[in-house]
Amino acid sequence: MNATGSSPVSPDNPLAEPSGLPFGLPPFGDITPEHCREALLAGMAEQRAEVTAIVGSTEPPTFDNTIVALERSGALLTRAWNVFGNLTSSVSTPRMREIEREIAPLEAAHDDAIRLDPALFARIDAVHDTRHDAGLDDEAVRLVERYHLDFVLAGAGLDVAGRERLTQLNQEISTLSTTFGQNLQLATEAAAISVGDAAELDGLDDEAIAAAATAAADRGGEGYLITLLLPSGQPLLAKLRNRALRQRVFEASLGRASAGDHDNRPVAERIARLRAERARLLGFDTHADVVLADSTARTTAAVDEMLASMVPASVANANAEADILRAVAARDGVELAPWDWAFYSEQVRAERYAVDTTALRPYFELDRVLVDGVFHAAELLYGYTFTPRPDLAGYHPDVRVWEVGDADGRAVGLYLGDFFARDGKRGGAWMSSFVRQSRLLGGQPVVVNNLNVSRAADGQPTLLTLDEVNTLFHEFGHALHGLSSAVTYPRFSGTAVPRDFVEFPSQVNEMWALWPDVLAHYAKHVETGEPLADDAVKAIDAAQLWGEGFATLEYLAATLLDQAWHRITPETEIGDPITFEQRALEAAGVAHPLVPPRYRTTYFQHIFAGGYAAGYYSYIWSEVLDADTVEWFKENGGLRRENGDTFRGRLLSVGGSVDPLAAFRAVRGRDADPMPLLRRRGLAPVA
């Protein structure tokens, strides 16, 4: 038995050794939850033994025998986590959730045992002290600095009592975060709205109605089932004519995980309090201060200045939109309510800008958007090619695999696409990795994109909304970040950059969704093959600013809610978390009766069960860089290989191996200008 109480991994465990499949793709069909559990436990023990050997070395600490040795450690654990972590997000089962609950505190304790080892930190500290005199290249120096900062922020400098308390806090936070995510998944599935009569679905197209029928049938029911996506606003609200059903959907969405068996209110409060205590233990005022110490923003003051500068104009724009919507709703004798906003906003969009988003959907068939849009843009910009690999299996029948090559015919890695919503899959959209690129370990990237698109009925094409098209381009931007990685050390691979920088490349990639040459290549009617009319494209462009008041305000409300939860101290009086939420929104000036936060406390997965605690601001912080970079592309001719090669070579490929803002300056030639973003969101006059 080893230190974790587990036996060594059995030789017939598919995770025991690196996969023999192309690019190290895991052999999903052979892997069971029990294999994952065994490999995780054995992997933790194996890495602890490796770290013990590093610490026990009689040789003076050097870059190679300490830092590089740490980079090489934990291969089994990394392999197991890359599989298990992705599967719990995409194909969760009751058994997997049990294992997740078991492993979470053990993993937190394992991380602490390494990060809080005073002898290990002494070796890292020694290498850090001599880093500029050891003949290291720039990437190696940065690796030493990153390890040192990681350990300092993890509490390596604490005394024995402090380290013990920190370990307790981390284990409880890890356990509670797992509970929050599982509660949310189960609460979201339970909150689906059952509809018995198709007449209640008036306003939805045939494909959406068929999808609702399929969802009901998948659960063994009859009639129709409206399943919920992660944000507060549900896409069907824009089309449902039945106002009572709109209210049911809206209230179900906002009420998720706020009562009953899956109540996340006490879970969220406890997580926030524990993070506040941990921050104080580490010598910071709040958890937000801890997070921002390892960011490009650096300080809470910088975040506050940016957010506060956007609030007044956002509220004014939302109020102006509300006045317009009230007038439209009054024609139906309706006093505008939150569940009416999307419905009447869609009417305004159609009337003022001749944009009927439902009528656009036949032009956005999933495979055509992916292959003739997303992949096509990547080929034009970066020379990448995407070859289907039907011989390689994903972890679910929905998952498809492509081999990625470069313009010279060299193999780059694998891209997996998992686009459909289903039970057992968490909400939202994301990119993740099964294998990260690094020259040190010889890894080539294997990345996956997840979306939650409603599956069409059998034999019918899957049609996307314009928002879903943008989401696909966005998430593929993260995939490009991973696929383009060309670093030595896995610590810097792909998207391993500060939280407030990671969204920047993915936001830039959204620009190609409506780029004329790209749009014309994929936006063709699914039945007739006719291209999307120029008038429709012009209308979409003209309508870009409509709804920005709502969109910006709902985002800012969520961001400021995140900051409120993570600016508390251990002594802060909270009371009921929903009351705390309302007070925080009012204090920030973003409590709008018609515009709820994009995420409320009980389903704010990003900050309570994800990596965005005190960092949800990063989307808009990154968007400053994004909007300015879009201007750079336009100034330099747009969709050109030369531009793509510059962006990839100076920014995407370097991952976290250089200072992120230095990478931005290497592309743009200067620091970011915020004006392009303000104009994009209607917060400043268009030049």
Query: Which residues, 6 or more positions from 266, have their beta carbon under 8 angstroms from its beta carbon?
Result: 577
Nearest alpha carbon to residue 471 among 585, 325, 589, 366: 366
Nearest alpha carbon to residue 618 among 513, 471, 505, 514: 505
Nearest alpha carbon to residue 248 among 263, 235, 259, 237: 237
**Do residues 287 and 376 touch, judged by C-beta distance below 8 A?**
no
Which tokens in the block code for residue 305?
A: 């200045």
- Within 13 A of 682's CA, how many CA atoms are on the CB side? 20
Tell me if residue 245 falls in helix, strand or coil.
helix
**Do residues 542 and 663 touch, judged by C-beta distance below 8 A?**
no
DSSP assigned state of 461: -
Tell me how many helices (H) and strands (E) the chain has.
27, 7
Quote the CA–CA distance of 118 and 409 in Å, as a whole number.
48
- CA dist 478 → 94, 325, 400 (Å): 30, 36, 18
**Consecutive H or E run containing 418:** strand 411-420
Quote the CA–CA distance of 81 and 84 in Å, as a whole number.
5
DSSP lists the bridge partners of residue 435 as 446
125 burial via Cβ count (<10 Å: 0-12, 13-18, 19+): middle
Name the one residue in this structure whose structure tokens are 């906002």. 254
Which tokens in the block code for residue 163?
A: 């380290």
Name the one residue in this structure whose structure tokens are 């860089």. 625
Catalytic one of 475, 503, 548, 623: 475
Quote the CA–CA distance of 175 and 108 in Å, as a whole number.
9
**Do residues 617 and 559 touch, judged by C-beta distance below 8 A?**
yes
**Do residues 462 and 622 touch, judged by C-beta distance below 8 A?**
no
98 classed as catalytic: no
Nearest alpha carbon to residue 494 among 291, 368, 657, 366: 657
DSSP-assigned letters across all residues of 479-523: HHHHHT---SSGGGSTT-S-HHHHHHHHHHHGGGGS-HHHHHHH-
Nearest alpha carbon to residue 181 among 264, 270, 275, 271: 264
Nearest alpha carbon to residue 358 among 514, 234, 465, 454: 465
- CA dist 364 → 5, 127, 629 (Å): 52, 54, 26
Find the distance separating the first CA and the last CA of the chain, reported in whole Å.
Answer: 69
Quote the CA–CA distance of 170 and 373 in Å, as a whole number.
43
Quote the CA–CA distance of 490 and 71 in Å, as a whole number.
7
CA 333 distance to own-chain centroid: 41
Pairing between β-strand 224-226 and β-strand 193-195 as defined by DSSP bridges: antiparallel
Name the one residue in this structure whose structure tokens are 């610590």. 491
- CA dist 307 → 310, 534, 560, 671 (Å): 5, 37, 8, 19
358 burial via Cβ count (<10 Å: 0-12, 13-18, 19+): middle
Catalytic residue list: 475
